[in-house]
């Protein structure tokens, strides 16, 4: 059963006594993939394998002996776990904290420490089992080297999550429970194989659990309602069947003729809803069992405990080797304190004077003391948990190296330094012009951040719109989708009483990688701004590969613009008070979708007073934005004026014939937005003709 998959608030409200508002969760995947994955891999159903497998028969004999009072180790069984994160640099590359949470949820459920245990109906309260199995994240790798117990592998196979991911990385199954965390899990929330299916050494590499990241733990990309998927799958890994038997079709009448081979779980057709009074096969069903699909699992039974502990202590699939003292020491989960790495994370590495940084200890393992040197003369040290994750305010601008020395009663380990840049308010003057000429860039006013440390923005003299240089990003040779690279400015003071707005103009050159429009990719150039020095970034413009990012025809080879005709430009105007501060910053973010190279040039940031706007408007007219362009749908034409104008706006085709009258009348002071519809217009080049007070201006528009 998967408590984590509530489909509606109604289904969960039957067992949740406190007033909770539960969201609807779209359920497209199967809750559990054991049946389909077994058939796909072995060509047999779990029942068929069990009937033919000598290892499965051995487990049944051992389980019957245990049920009849045979000897079992009475102590707590400990099983080392390793998580293999298979990701493609997207949100499926979940944080360590989500995996630590998943272990906590798993242990809570197996030890009957879950706080919702009291919700189990009275008929089954007497058979709730503390399974007395504990799962611990490994602290040493197979070579005995200190390790976090979490591996990360970049592979597009994460989007399938089939058995092939296990060939990417796997640790010995007689030392670790392998859990592969992916974006998908072969059409299910997760799946595992019964130990009798993978007993042979020839298929031992299949042993373990594949699970979606969004069903792992109760935080991050997952949530409380999905958090028990791992509990369910570990049950299968320890030889539990679904309560209705070996099929994947709960609710079928024929299921009353199948059993899960556990004496104290009533015969049932199986449930996909939480009917606590259900009697599908003539007796009250254990709907709240973790091996149901009822979405309200709370318990294992005593019979399931015996079955799982028997599997854990059996030689079948080498399960009995996992909990031995020698293996627990070899994997680092028992023995002397182990401290191998001192490291930490930060929420930001660039801040302004008077702002703080949240530091989070990521050292492992057994850390009991923390000594922080923040590089600004401040030393913080202590042995209580509050010192593990300090928040430190930097009061003076400068560049500081922060070092953590983590320790315990045996040793101390010093981290590598992390550089924190503290900016003064208003570091950049207005207007600020960045053309990436050699004497201008890099500078104290611009920062580059490489998302994957695989190459990022670099000054290039291969192309430019003006001058000799531009900023270039090699995207053509990139083979990692969703790779992101950042260009960020320092601060500009826009807090003057007479400043009405800030205008940001920039030029870029980009094209698809290929030979035709069929090769288009949805790479993205995002422009974000902040009025609080980057604490919060607001996306204000995005140029997409499918719309207005391309400035030239596709190139099969790495793209270099051949002239000004292969560049695009845009002007972003901001007049919101939240940005007119002493700590205004600008950020360009390029997200790769495996397209071609991109160049940026002529970034201009200018603060405008009302007088400057009036003069600008008198000389050139207001600044117009036409987007998206090219367009496959409606196009927006917008501007903001400081005075009234007599205006006529029309749309003309390439021959000059007027095909649409957009506006005619008085354009009053303030913001304006007009929509141009592509209806009844063929593909091609058009011109938006704007006549203000008798002065005409034409903007090209491509309809595709």
DSSP result, 463-480: --SSSS-EEEE--TT---
d(C-alpha 293, C-alpha 4), whole Å: 10
454 and 395 inside one domain:
no
pTM score, whole prediction? 0.77
pLDDT value at residue 517: 63
Q: How confident is the model at residue 451 (pLDDT cuts 50, 70, 90)?
A: low
In a domain, 67, yes or no: no
Kindly list the catalytic residues.
233
Domain presence at residue 88:
yes
- Among the candidates 595, 617, 639, a domain finishes at 617
Domain match, 512 and 405 both = no
CA 121 to chain centre: 38
**Number of domains composing the chain:** 4
Give yes or no: residues 377 and 437 share one domain: no
Residue 173 is assigned to a structural domain of this protein:
yes
C-alpha span between 628 and 476 (Å, rounded): 25
- Here the contacts of 354-357 (C-beta below 8 Å, separation 24 or greater) are 354/393, 354/394, 354/395, 355/393, 355/394, 355/422, 355/533, 355/535, 356/391, 356/392, 356/393, 356/394, 357/391, 357/392, 357/394, 357/420
pLDDT at 23 over 50: no
Instruction: Judge contact between 45 and 333, C-beta under 8 A.
Output: no
Residue 687: C-alpha distances to residues 152, 461, 629, 697 (Å):
51, 34, 11, 10
Mean pLDDT over 649-653 rounds to: 90
In which domain, by residue range, is 499 found?
A: 425-617
CB 82 within 8 A of CB 149: yes
Q: Which pLDDT band, with edges at 50, 70 and 90, does 618 fall under?
A: low
| Same domain, yes or no: 450 and 471 | yes
- In this structure, of 16-20, 213-217, 329-333, the range with the lowest mean pLDDT score is 16-20
CA distance linking residue 33 with residue 68, whole number of Å: 32
Q: Tell me, what's the pLDDT at 683?
A: 84
Q: Are residues 401 and 461 in the same domain?
A: no
Task: Kindly tell me if the per-residue pLDDT of 79 is higher than 50.
Answer: yes
* pLDDT for residue 170 is more than 90: yes
Check whether residue 221 and residue 321 sit in a common domain.
yes
Quote the pLDDT of residue 699.
86
Residue 267 has pLDDT above 60, yes or no: yes
> Is the predicted pLDDT of residue 27 greater than 70, yes or no?
no
In this prediction, residue 532 has a pLDDT band, given cuts at 50, 70 and 90, of very high
The kind and range of the H/E element at 691 are: strand 684-692
Q: What span, in angstroms and rounded, lies between the C-alpha atoms of 671 and 576?
A: 12
Residues 595 and 686 in one domain: no
Residues 612 and 643 in one domain: no
- Please say which residue of 568, 583, 617 terminates a domain: 617
Structure tokens at 549: 């990012």
**Claim to verify: residue 499 and residue 590 sit in the same structural domain:** yes
Question: Does residue 96 fall inside a structural domain?
Answer: yes
In which band, very low, low, confident or very high, does the pLDDT at 354 lie, cut at 50, 70 and 90? very high
> What pLDDT does residue 657 have?
87
Angstrom distance (rounded) from CA 264 to CA 289? 11
The answer to whether residue 336 sits within a structural domain is no
Least confident of 49-58, 347-356, 440-449, 503-512: 440-449
Q: Which of 155, 137, 133, 154 is nearest to 146 (CA)?
A: 137
pLDDT of residue 703: 85
Residue 107 binned pLDDT confidence (cut-offs 50, 70, 90): very high
Whether 48 maps to a domain, the answer reads yes
Shared domain for 589 and 633, answered yes or no, is no
49 occurs within a structural domain: yes
In this model, does residue 609 exceed pLDDT 90? Answer: no
In this structure, the answer to whether residues 485 and 430 fall within a common structural domain is yes
CATH number reported for the structural domain that contains residue 49 in this entry: 3.40.390.10
- HEC assignment per residue over 622-640: CCCEEECCCECCCEEEEEE
15 pLDDT higher than 50: no
**CATH number, position 669:** 2.60.40.1930
Per-residue model confidence as pLDDT tens digits over 470-522 = 999 999 888 777 888 999 999 999 998 889 899 999 999 999 988 776 778 89
Measured between alpha carbons, how far is 65 from 327 in angstroms, rounded to an integer?
26
Crossing angle for the helix pair 229-237 and 96-110, nearest 10 degrees?
A: 60
CA 380, 384, 386 angle in degrees (round to 5)? Answer: 65
Confidence check: pLDDT of 393 > 60: yes
* Structural contact between residues 544 and 526, judged by C-beta atoms closer than 8 angstroms: no
CATH number, domain of 388, equals 2.60.40.10
pLDDT at 617: 63
Asked which of 376, 407, 423 is the last residue of a domain, the reply is 423
Confirm whether 441 is domain-assigned: yes
Q: Tell whether the model's pLDDT for residue 14 goes beyond 90.
A: no
Neighbours of 496 (CB within 10 A): 12
Residues 489 and 457 sit within 8 Å (Cβ to Cβ): no
The answer on pLDDT for 19 being more than 70 is: no
Is pLDDT larger for residue 8 or for residue 547? Answer: 547
State the Cα–Cα distance between residues 37 and 190, nearest whole angstrom.
10
Q: For the domain that residue 484 is a member of, what is the CATH number?
A: 2.60.120.200
DSSP at 668 = -
Confidence of residue 161 (pLDDT cuts 50, 70, 90): very high
Record the tokens describing residue 260, joined without a space.
């899960």
Task: Give the residue from 508, 503, 482 showing the smallest Cα distance to 586.
Answer: 503
> 287 φ, ψ to 5°?
-65, -25
Short-list 596, 389, 365, CA closest to 476: 596
CA distance 526 to 548: 12
Q: Is the pLDDT of residue 202 over 90?
A: no
| In contact, 607 and 541? CB cutoff 8 Å | no
Residue 7, pLDDT above cutoff 50: no
Residues 65, 132, 261: CA angle, nearest 5 degrees: 40
DSSP code at position 143: T
pLDDT on residue 310: 96
Averaged over 549-562, what is the pLDDT?
92
Q: What is the pLDDT of residue 454?
A: 67
Range name among 104-113, 284-293, 620-629 with the lowest pLDDT average:
620-629
Same-domain pairing of 184 and 51: yes
Q: What mean pLDDT value characterizes the chain?
A: 89
Instruction: Tell me the pLDDT tens digit for each residue of 395-405.
Output: 999 999 999 99
């Amino acid at each position: 059963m998967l408590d984590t998959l509530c489909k509606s608030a109604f289904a969960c409200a039957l067992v949740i006594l406190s007033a909770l508002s539960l969201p609807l969760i779209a359920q497209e995947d199967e809750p559990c993939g054991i049946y389909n994955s077994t058939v796909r891999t072995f060509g047999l159903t779990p029942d068929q394998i069990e009937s033919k497998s000598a290892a499965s028969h051995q487990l049944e004999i051992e389980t019957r002996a245990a049920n009849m009072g045979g000897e079992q180790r009475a102590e707590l069984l400990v099983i080392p776990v390793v998580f293999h994160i298979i990701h493609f640099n997207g949100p499926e590359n979940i944080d360590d904290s989500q995996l630590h949470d998943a272990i906590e949820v798993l242990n809570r459920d197996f030890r009957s420490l879950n706080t919702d245990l009291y919700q189990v109906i009275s008929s089954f309260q007497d058979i709730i089992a503390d399974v007395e199995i504990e799962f611990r994240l490994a602290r040493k790798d197979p070579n005995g080297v200190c390790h976090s117990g979490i591996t990360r592998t970049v592979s597009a196979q994460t989007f399938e999550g089939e058995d092939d991911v296990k060939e990417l990385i796997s640790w010995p199954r007689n030392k670790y429970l392998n859990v592969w965390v992916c974006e998908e899990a072969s059409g299910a929330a997760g799946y595992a194989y019964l130990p009798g299916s993978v007993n042979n050494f020839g298929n031992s590499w299949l042993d373990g659990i594949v699970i979606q990241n969004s069903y792992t733990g109760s935080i991050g990309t997952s949530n409380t309602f999905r958090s028990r998927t791992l509990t369910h799958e570990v049950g299968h890994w320890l030889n539990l069947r679904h309560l209705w038997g070996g099929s994947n079709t709960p609710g079928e009448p024929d299921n009353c003729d199948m059993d899960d081979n556990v004496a104290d779980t009533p015969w049932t057709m199986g449930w996909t809803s939480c009917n606590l009074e259900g009697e599908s096969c003539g007796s009250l069903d254990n709907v709240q069992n973790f091996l149901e699909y009822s979405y309200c699992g709370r318990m294992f039974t005593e019979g399931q405990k015996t079955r799982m502990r028997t599997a854990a202590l059996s030689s079948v699939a080498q399960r009995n080797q996992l909990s031995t003292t020698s293996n627990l020491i070899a994997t680092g989960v028992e023995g002397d304190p182990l401290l191998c790495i001192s490291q930490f994370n930060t929420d930001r590495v660039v801040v302004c004077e008077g702002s703080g940084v949240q530091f989070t200890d990521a050292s492992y393992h057994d850390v009991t003391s923390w000594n922080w040197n923040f590089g600004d003369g401040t030393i913080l040290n202590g042995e209580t948990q509050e010192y593990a994750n300090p928040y430190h305010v930097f009061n003076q601008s400068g560049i500081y190296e922060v070092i953590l020395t983590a320790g315990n009663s045996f040793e101390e380990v010093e981290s590598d330094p992390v550089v924190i840049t503290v900016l003064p308010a208003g570091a950049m003057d207005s207007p600020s012009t960045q053309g990436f000429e050699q004497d201008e860039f890099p500078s104290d006013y611009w920062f580059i951040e490489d998302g994957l440390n695989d190459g990022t923005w670099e000054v290039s003299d291969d192309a430019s719109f003006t001058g000799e240089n531009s900023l270039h990003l090699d995207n053509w040779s990139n083979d990692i989708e969703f790779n992101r690279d950042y260009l960020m400015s320092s601060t500009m003071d826009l807090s003057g009483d007479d400043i009405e707005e800030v205008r940001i103009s920039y030029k870029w050159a980009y094209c698809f990688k290929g030979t035709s429009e069929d090769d288009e990719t949805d790479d993205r150039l995002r422009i974000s701004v902040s009025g609080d020095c980057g604490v919060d970034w607001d996306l204000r413009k995005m140029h997409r590969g499918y719309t207005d990012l391309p400035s030239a025809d596709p190139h099969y080879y790495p793209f270099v613009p051949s002239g000004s005709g292969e560049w695009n430009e845009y002007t972003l105007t901001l007049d919101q008070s939240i940005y007119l501060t002493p700590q205004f910053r600008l950020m360009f973010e390029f997200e790769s979708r495996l397209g071609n190279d991109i160049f940026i040039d002529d970034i201009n940031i200018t603060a405008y007073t009302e007088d400057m706007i009036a003069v600008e408007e008198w000389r050139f007219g207001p600044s117009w934005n036409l987007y998206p362009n090219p367009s496959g749908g409606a196009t927006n034409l917008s501007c903001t004026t400081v005075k009234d104008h007599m205006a006529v706006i029309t749309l003309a085709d390439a021959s000059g014939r007027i095909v649409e009258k957009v506006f005619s009348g008085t354009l009053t002071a303030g913001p304006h937005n007009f929509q141009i519809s592509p209806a009844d217009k063929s593909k091609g080049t058009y011109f938006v003709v704007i006549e203000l007070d008798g002065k005409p201006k034409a903007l090209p528009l491509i309809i595709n």
